[in-house]
Structure 1
C-alpha cells in the first residue's frame, strides 16, 4: 500500500480512538509507520534524504514500537507499505500524523493517574517528536533540492532531475 494512504488510515484511526490505550496503540502504529517509511527511503529514496531517512528508520530500535504490547495482537499497519510514490506528500502527511499523535498523547498523559501509562505516553511523545524532527529535515532537503533544479516549462516549476536517485 502507498505511504500516503497508510498515513491517512493512521490519521483516521487516531481520530476514532476513544480510550487512552487506543491512542497509545495508534501512537505506536504511527511510529512503526515512520520507521517503515524511513527504511523505504533509505533504499529507494533520493540520495539527499538517505541520511535523515536512516535516522528515521532507527528511532525506537530495540525494545520499542515493534515490541509494544498494543501491537502484539497482529502485524503493524506499516507492514503493508509497498511504495512511497511522492516523497514530499508522504513526508508532509507523516509529519501531520506525528503532530496529531503528540497532541493526543499529551492529552492522555495529562488525564491519567496511572504512572505506567503516563510514562508510556512520555516515551511515545519523545519518539513522535524525534521522528517529526527527521521528517522536517527531509522536507527541508527536498526544498533545497527542488530550488536547485531548472524550471520545468510544462509545469511552471522545478522539474525532476534526470539521473539516479
Structure 2
C-alpha cells in the first residue's frame, strides 16, 4: 500500500464509521426494541471511530451516512455492516503497517479498536435478532391469524 493511498483510505474508513454510527442511531430510535441498547452502544463506538480520524473534506451530499433513509431489514443491514467493519479493520491494519509517522499509526490503532468493538455490537444485535426469531411462533395453516 503506497503512502499516497492512505488519505483516501482514511476517508473511506471514516465514511464506514460514520455509516455505522448512522445505522446504530437509526436502530436505537426505530429498530426492534431488543436492539436499542446495543444500537446506542454502536452509535457511541462508531462515533469514537470517527473521532480518532481526521474528518475527510466532503460535500454534505457525498457523505454516505447522510444518504441513509431507512432500514427495512435490520438483519440484512447488520450483516452487511459487519462485513464492512471487517474490511475496515483489515484496511486499518494495512495502513498502520505502512504508516510513515507515529500519529497516523496511533490513529489507525485506535480506529481498529473502535471498528472491532463496533463489530462486536453488530454481532450481538444479530444474536438478539436470531433469538427473537426463535421465540416467534411459526404460522400454521390451522390458525386463522397465522399464530
* 1:72 equivalenced with 2:57 (yes/no): yes
Q: TM-score, normalised by structure 1?
A: 0.75
**CA distance in 2: counterparts of 1:104 and 1:116, whole angstroms:** 17
Partner of 1:6: none
Q: Which has the larger radius of gyration?
A: 2
The SS at the match of 1:71 is coil
Q: How does 1:96-111 map to 2 (within 5 A)?
A: 96-111=83-98
Partner of 2:124: 137
Alpha carbons of structure 1 residues 152 and 27: separation in structure 2 relative to 1, 3 Å: farther
Alpha carbons of structure 1 residues 100 and 134: separation in structure 2 relative to 1, 3 Å: same
**CA distance in 1: counterparts of 2:51 and 2:22, whole angstroms:** 11
Q: How does 1:74-89 map to 2 (within 5 A)?
A: 74-75=59-60, 76-89=63-76
Q: TM-score, normalised by structure 2?
A: 0.84
The SS at the match of 2:125 is helix
The ranges of structure 1 where at least 4 consecutive aligned residues each deviate by more than 3 angstroms after the TM superposition are 66-70
RMSD: 2.4
Note the alpha carbon deviations across 1:50-81, whole angstroms, 9 max, x for none: 0100101112547x626853433333210111
The match for 1:92 among 74, 79, 90 is 79
Native 8 Å contact 2:78 2:122 kept in 1: yes
Structure 2: stretches of 5+ with no match in the other structure: none
Structure 1: stretches of 5+ with no match in the other structure: 1-17, 155-160
How many residue pairs get aligned? The number is 138
1:114 CA drift (Å): 1.4
The SS at the match of 1:69 is coil
Native 8 Å contact 1:32 1:66 kept in 2: no
**CA distance in 1: counterparts of 2:51 and 2:66, whole angstroms:** 11
